[in-house]
């Protein structure tokens, strides 16, 4: 999976890129996902012809036929990944092959054309190379990369489309949450049901979560926690992150991958780092009533959310119809969470050895 020797892409540099002064201004305070780099990657798919015309060109609005299937039946998938400026002065991606694989699986679930995994990684690498000056250097910052694919065929019949548009855009970002532990709303809405699309990273899952997210905001919470759709009891995941619980014996618990939650790459990396670091980790169902009881008894010591955007972020309290529980002091990161976070970030940013072959050097 080493980089791409013969670029199949047409490289068409932006004739009027953002000025270095304006870019420096943006990089001084990037926020999250508001400002985009000078370029984007684009590959088209047409049934009978396959993937064609890969190009890196100026970031710009695209034209879509109003009958494009994505606008009606939501045939859309995406990924989220980051490029880091490393201690050695280069730029690296973290496990891009895992994003490529998950993207292909999401496409399969949504009956979309499957982009070859090497082409996915090549598109990301070509864009990052072109927009290398946009990769921030400060510790909490990175270039957030958003590959996505839409059904572009103009046809109102309900069927898998015969034309797709794959694109990659990128945005310099800072921390997703602030310094303090976040509050989480336990929702009565469901995100995914058995046999549904919970394991796919499709836009529809996020559209369906927004009402719950809005409700969470109304209750003073930054994120929402979803329970299973059958018993409304088992903790699944958050709107855009997986979740881990740290118990008083130092062990970790995280919900198992049963098809209704996203197979988080951060989740998978934490499992590996934690187990290799000697921690006991159980992928097993954890009930919401058990969590409330464990928080009240002190058995539950730390809780954290994990994902590409959130990295590892402590959760300080849960609110919901069962009332409120505070985890730890409700504000600070706990010691187990902090150690895992430090170890993960050190690998991602080239400050520690990478025994797993996770770091993919772009430059
Ligand atoms: N769960 C959901 C619903 C997500 O949107 C994300 C973010 O991508 C995750 C979990 C974490 O996945 P990853 O660690 O691969 O970013
Ligand atoms: C990510 O972490 O990449 C996601 O897709 C989650 C989203 C809430 C930004």
User: Are 94 and 83 contacting, i.e. CB atoms less than 8 angstroms apart?
Assistant: no
Give me the CATH number covering residue 50.
Answer: 3.30.470.10
- 206, 262: one domain: yes
Which residue's alpha carbon is at the smallest distance from atom 2 of ligand 1? 240
Distance of CA 89 to the CA centre of its chain: 25
Are the C-beta atoms of residues 111 and 30 closer than 8 Å to each other? no
The mean pLDDT values, 10 residues at a time, for the chain of 363 residues are 57 97 94 95 97 97 98 98 94 98 98 98 98 94 98 98 98 91 97 97 97 98 98 97 98 98 98 98 98 97 97 97 95 97 97 97 97
Whether 228 maps to a domain, the answer reads yes
| Alpha-helical regions (H) of 248-311 | 265-276, 288-297
**150 and 250 part of one domain:** no
CA of 15 to the centre of ligand 1 (A): 35
320 part of a folded domain: yes
Residue that the structure tokens 């990924």 belong to: 79
Say yes or no: 162 and 39 in one domain: yes
7 lines ligand 2 (CB under 6 A): no
* DSSP strand pairing (91-94 vs 50-58): unpaired
* Of 172, 137, 123, 148, residue with least CA distance to 3: 123
- Which of 332, 337, 27, 22 minimizes the C-alpha distance to 178? 332
Instruction: Considering every ligand atom shown, identify the ligand nearest to the alpha carbon of residue 239 and give its number.
Output: 1
Maximum distance among all alpha carbons in the chain?
62
Asked whether residue 356 is assigned to any structural domain, the reply reads no
User: Would you state the pLDDT for residue 178?
Assistant: 84
- Identify the CATH number of the domain in which residue 227 sits: 3.20.10.10
Number of Cβ atoms within 10 Å of the Cβ of 363? 15
Considering the domain architecture, whether residues 67 and 128 belong to the same structural domain is answered as yes
Is the shortest distance between the CB of 240 and ligand 1 below 6 Å?
yes
Full domain range(s) for residue 317: 182-348
Q: Is 80 in the pocket of ligand 2 (CB under 6 A)?
A: yes
Q: State the Cα–Cα distance between residues 5 and 116, nearest whole angstrom.
A: 16
225 and 252 share one domain: yes
Query: Do 107 and 22 reside in the same domain of the chain?
Result: yes
128, 265: one domain: no
Instruction: Compute the distance between CA of residue 82 and CA of residue 141 in angstroms, rounded to an integer.
Output: 10
Say yes or no: 104 and 234 in one domain.
no
Nearest to 7 by CA among 56, 49, 79: 56
Please check whether residue 265 lies inside any domain of the structure. yes
In angstroms, rounded to a whole number, what is the distance separating the alpha carbons of residues 150 and 165? 5
Query: What is the pTM for the complete model shown?
Result: 0.96
Q: Can you tell me which atom of ligand 2 is nearest the CA of 309?
A: 2
Give the span between the Cα atoms of 25 and 27, in whole angstroms: 6
Residue 131, domain member (yes or no)? yes
Answer with the one of 173, 206, 236 that is the final residue of a domain.
173
Nearest residue (CA) to ligand 2, atom 8: 240
Do 126 and 54 fall into the same domain?
Answer: yes
In-domain check, residue 204: yes
Helix (H) / strand (E) containing 119: helix 117-130
Measured CA to CA, the distance from residue 213 to residue 187 in angstroms comes to 9
As for how many domains the chain has, the answer is 2
Closest ligand to C-alpha of residue 191 is 1
Residue with tokens 């990052």: 128
Q: HSE-up of 51 (CA within 13 Å, CB side)?
A: 19
Task: Mark whether 228 and 129 lie in a shared domain.
Answer: no
CA-CA distances (angstroms) from residue 159 to 46, 70, 221? 15, 11, 39
Domain finish residue from 173, 205, 240: 173
Q: How many whole angstroms from 265 Cα to the centroid of ligand 1?
A: 7
Q: What are phi and psi of 266, to 5 degrees?
A: -65, -45
Domain boundary among the residues 141, 173, 205 is at: 173
β strands within 174-277, DSSP E? 182-186, 223-227, 235-238, 242-247, 252-254
Annotated active-site positions, please? Answer: 201
Q: Both 57 and 156 in a single domain?
A: yes
What's the CA angle centered on 107, arms 102 and 111, to 5 degrees?
150
Residue 153 sits in the same domain as residue 207: no
pLDDT in tens, 132-172: 999 999 988 999 999 999 999 999 999 999 999 999 999 99
Whether 362 maps to a domain, the answer reads no
Is residue 353 assigned to a domain?
Answer: no
């Amino acid at each position: 999976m080493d980089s791409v020797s013969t670029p199949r892409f047409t490289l068409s540099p932006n004739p009027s890129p953002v000025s270095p002064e304006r870019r420096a201004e943006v990089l001084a305070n990037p926020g999250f996902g508001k400002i985009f780099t000078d370029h984007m990657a684009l590959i088209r798919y047409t049934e009978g012809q396959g993937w064609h015309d890969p190009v890196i060109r100026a970031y710009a609005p695209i034209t879509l036929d109003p009958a494009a299937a994505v606008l009606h039946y939501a045939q859309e998938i995406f990924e989220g990944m980051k490029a880091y400026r490393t201690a050695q002065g280069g730029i690296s991606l973290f496990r891009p092959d895992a994003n490529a694989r998950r993207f292909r699986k999401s496409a399969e679930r949504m009956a979309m054309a499957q982009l070859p995994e090497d082409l996915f990684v090549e598109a990301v690498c070509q864009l990052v190379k072109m927009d290398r000056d946009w990769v921030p250097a400060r510790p909490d910052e990175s270039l957030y990369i958003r590959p996505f694919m839409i059904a572009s065929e103009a046809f109102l019949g309900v069927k898998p489309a015969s034309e797709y548009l794959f694109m990659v855009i990128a945005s310099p970002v800072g921390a997703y949450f602030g310094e303090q532990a976040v509050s989480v709303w336990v929702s009565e809405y469901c995100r995914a049901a058995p046999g549904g699309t919970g394991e796919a990273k499709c836009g529809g899952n996020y559209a369906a979560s927004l009402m719950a997210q809005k409700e969470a905001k109304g209750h003073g919470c930054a994120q929402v926690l979803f329970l299973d759709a059958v018993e409304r009891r088992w903790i699944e995941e958050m709107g855009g992150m997986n979740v881990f619980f740290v118990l008083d014996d130092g062990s970790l618990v995280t919900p198992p991958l049963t098809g209704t939650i996203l197979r988080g790459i951060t989740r998978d990396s934490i499992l590996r780092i934690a187990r290799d670091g000697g921690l006991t980790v159980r992928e097993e169902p954890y009930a919401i009533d058990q969590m409330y009881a464990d928080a009240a008894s002190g058995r539950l010591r730390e809780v954290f959310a994990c994902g590409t955007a959130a990295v590892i972020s402590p959760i300080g309290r849960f609110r919901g119809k069962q009332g409120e529980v505070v985890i730890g002091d409700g504000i600070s990161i706990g010691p187990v969470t902090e150690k895992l976070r430090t170890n993960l970030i050190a690998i991602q940013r080239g400050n520690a050895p990478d025994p797993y072959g996770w770091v993919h050097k772009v430059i």
